[in-house]
Chains A and B, each alone.
Chain A
Amino acid sequence: MFDFTLTDKQKMFQEMTREFSRSMVRPIALEADRTGKYPDDLLITLHQAQAGQGRDIRDSGVTANTSENAPDAEEKRKRQTNMLLAILTEELSWGDPCAVLNIPGPGLGGPPVQFMGTPEQRERFFAPFKNMSKPLFGAYALTEPGAGSDSKAIRTSCRKDGDHYIINGTKCFITNGNKALWNVVFATVDPKLGRDGFRVFVIEKGTPGFLEGKVEKKMGLRASETAELVFEDCLVHESCLLGGEKHYETKEGFKGAMKTFDSTRPLVAAMAVGIARAAFEIARDWVKENYTLSRPIERYRTLSDRLSKLDREIHAARMLTWRACWLADEGIPNSKEASMCKVYAAQVAQRATEEAVQIMGPYGVLKNHFVEKLFRDQKVYDIFEGTGQVQRIVISRRIYESIGG
């Protein structure tokens, strides 16, 4: 029967991460926001801590940094990798959402390599991350100036020439794209073919014709790199085509890439829950410690009402997130639920940070107050990995499919 008690192991990981987030991440977050950089030693610690959490997380796909075979369905079910990741992501994001985006490893580029790559490719592209003495990244480059969620509209082209491909085009808003060892890059043999024309490459830094684009300046998440990638007659060896040419003869190629998003939207939701909880807790504590007209302001009823409303919404967002993760762990399609938790949690993060700022009044807008940063950080959660509007398109399509409308 349904039950929401964490196992001892899940609880232990949660508490470890919470403590790490409190003592190591939060204290450096404002400084990182100002400089745009995360300290290397913290990133290395993060990487090692994550690796230390063992196979539970490593094999999840999302942070796949191993060439070991993926676990079978029953094993996955027992390990609840998505559930555990969501729990830990919330804790880390509570410390600073940028910390989650800065975890060294293949990042969002991991799942396509894991799901679509040949054994040789997995070995080749994951191997560098076994070195934990410095922070190394992979990245995922699908979005273009004219194509985001509507991915079939991409224009980055690829053309076979001997044993190489020639890539031309521009990618934008790529997390860690500039500093990444390699990017998983989506290109098309012919835009008219839509998704059937897709080819997915792993393009390494330094490949001839892969030019460094600009690193964007942003409203929030400033300690996370967002880069433009430019390909001008970029020459990529055929061994970098994920899965090899045969892989694209069937329609499974693109589905492989899309699997990435069904497993990552809940994690984006978990990050948003972490942000919302952080803002809520700061506002709650601030209310306890401050006085207006010589009364502790927690005695003002409207304030406690507003705080408890946030508390409720944060729990609702977490339950939606857990639901999507549980479905994923059970191997049940969760496209609708992944979109639901993503769209909902982003809105909750937005309301929570806005309320926190409002409750704290002038203190909420000061640069050295954490809620000011959270307020700027949260906005993109309703935008990246599919805007709230795109999520609603996905959800309503799934609903209409199920009732034959």
Chain B
Amino acid sequence: MPTFELDEEIQDMQKMLRDFATEMIRPAYREAEHAGETPSELRESIKELSVHLVDMPEEYGGLGKDIRSAVVLEEELSYGDVGITVDVQDTSIGANAILIFGTDEQKTNLLTPILESGDGIAACFSEKGNPVSPEFIETTWREKEGSYKLMGSKTFVVGAGRAKNYLVLAKKDGSNDWQDLRLFLIAADTPGVVVGDRLGTLGLETCAVADVALMGVKVDSSRVLSAESSDAFKSKLGKVLDYARIVTCARMVGVMSATSDYSAKYSTERIAFDLPISQHQSIAFMVSDNATDVDACRWMTWQAAHEYVRGGESTANRALAHVVERAQKVATDSVQILGGHGFIQDHPVEKWMRDLRALSLIPGNDLFPEHG
């Protein structure tokens, strides 16, 4: 039966997170952006909320819900500030990859400790050339006596130099077969892992983005994720990326909602021609269109999460394409409502506009497009 209802438990968490986002995250957004990282105390307290555990199975230390709960909660955190959310919520996308690709043994040995510690996993998928299929991947692995050696360079790694783990996509040296692709879970302090200079970014400046070079990095076979066939690898990688896309959608909806609410509130306070500008229809209509777009994007995201759980035909790309497009509109119009104030850093809308643009380009979003 079609329903928009939330479990009571998730509803409670949603309310709690909304308060947390408004009272704890929002006041820190600018300082975190300028510092280029989340204040460590805030980082700890967000980790303690355990949002990253919500959709992980109980046997590995999760809360046993699914991605539908994750999207609801990720939206709430991002409502506070998405730079901080992406910076701190750095576990779930990698953890989900282990869940999808891992053997039972790997899940127990790799996933459980990561969930327990809340250590980040930075995804290293993108390269200078866009790896839409194996022939475009230049990072390679070689196997020798049960251990693997990685060579190559990854770019746009979000969380580079900050996450405790990297999840690297690489192909077998000399093979363009999908079946020979592997994902490697590497501890950040492994010799040969070289993090490049931090890249300046359009938005999401709270997050560390850099290149990561892999100079003959040795990886034990227990930390190598693979699939039994080309088709299996493709479909599992598709699932990993779908998950990332859906979570990104939820985060973008959180920012859209924040910027839409912020500009609506501002319009009730700013006076022009003796009236609050909310009384001018050109403004009120923008507020109305923003709210409508936010709702539509949220339900598209929920629908994609629903299909992800159901295992039906994936609608993650469709949702993402829609959210990305509408996010630009909502962000720009929110800045427009604030006028000159929207352009300066006394208000968050200029930042959210940049963040939304950056989010829509986060690695993984444009990889392996099925349709668009």
Contacts and interface: CB of A to CB of B under 8 A. Distances in A.
B192 to A, nearest CB: 41
B5 A1 contact: yes
Interface in A354-405: 389, 391-393, 395-396, 399-400, 403-405
B310 A5 contact: yes
A403 B268 contact: yes
Interface in B321-369: 321-322, 325
A288 interface: no
B2 A3 contact: yes
Interface string A300-325: 00000100110111011101101100
B306 A2 contact: yes
Contacts of B278: 396, 400, 405
Contacts of B302: 2, 4, 319
Grouping DSSP codes into helix (H, G, I), strand (E, B) and loop, the B interface class, with mixed when no group exceeds half, is helix
Given A322-B2, A340-B291, A392 B285 contact: yes
Contacts of B322: 312-313, 315-316
B96 interface: no
B236 interface: no
Contact of B299 (A309, A316, A405): A316
Interface string A328-369: 000000001100100110000000000000000000000000
Interface in B1-43: 1-7, 10
Interface in B248-286: 261, 264-265, 267-269, 276, 278, 281, 284-285
A399 B285 contact: no
Contact of A393 (B284, B289, B299): B284
Interface in A1-16: 1-7, 10
Contacts of B7: 1
Chain A contact-residue range equals: 35 or more
Contact of A343 (B10, B265, B292): B292
Chain B contact-residue range equals: 35 or more
B303 interface: yes
Contacts of A319: 296, 299-300, 302-303
Interface string A44-68: 0000000000000000000000000
Given A319-B296, A340-B295, A396-B287, A1 B6 contact: yes
A312 B69 contact: no
Contacts of B133: none
Contacts of B108: none
Contacts, number: 131
B371 interface: yes
B289 A392 contact: yes
B267 A326 contact: no
Contacts of B261: 403
B149 interface: no
A83 interface: yes
B182 interface: no
A322 B4 CA distance: 9
A288 B305 CA distance: 30
B291 A399 contact: yes
B3 A2 contact: yes
A326 B4 contact: yes
Q: In the complex, which of the residues A322, A389, A405 has the most CB atoms of chain B within 10 Å of its own CB atom?
A: A405
26 contacts: A1-B5, A1-B6, A1-B7, A2-B5, A3-B1, A5-B2, A6-B1, A10-B1, A309-B325, A313-B322, A315-B300, A315-B303, A315-B315, A316-B296, A320-B295, A326-B2, A340-B292, A340-B296, A344-B296, A393-B284, A395-B288, A396-B285, A399-B287, A400-B268, A405-B264, A405-B267
Interface of B: 1-7, 10, 65-66, 68-69, 261, 264-265, 267-269, 276, 278, 281, 284-285, 287-289, 291-292, 295-297, 299-300, 302-303, 305-306, 310, 315, 318, 321-322, 325, 371-372
Interface of A: 1-7, 10, 80, 83, 305, 308-309, 311-313, 315-317, 319-320, 322-323, 326-327, 336-337, 340, 343-344, 389, 391-393, 395-396, 399-400, 403-405
Given A4-B303, A5-B310, 14 more contacts: A1-B5, A2-B5, A3-B306, A83-B2, A315-B315, A316-B322, A323-B295, A340-B291, A340-B292, A392-B285, A399-B288, A400-B264, A403-B264, A405-B276
List the 6 closest pairs (A to B, CB-CB), nearest first. Answer: A405-B268, A319-B299, A396-B284, A395-B288, A316-B296, A392-B288
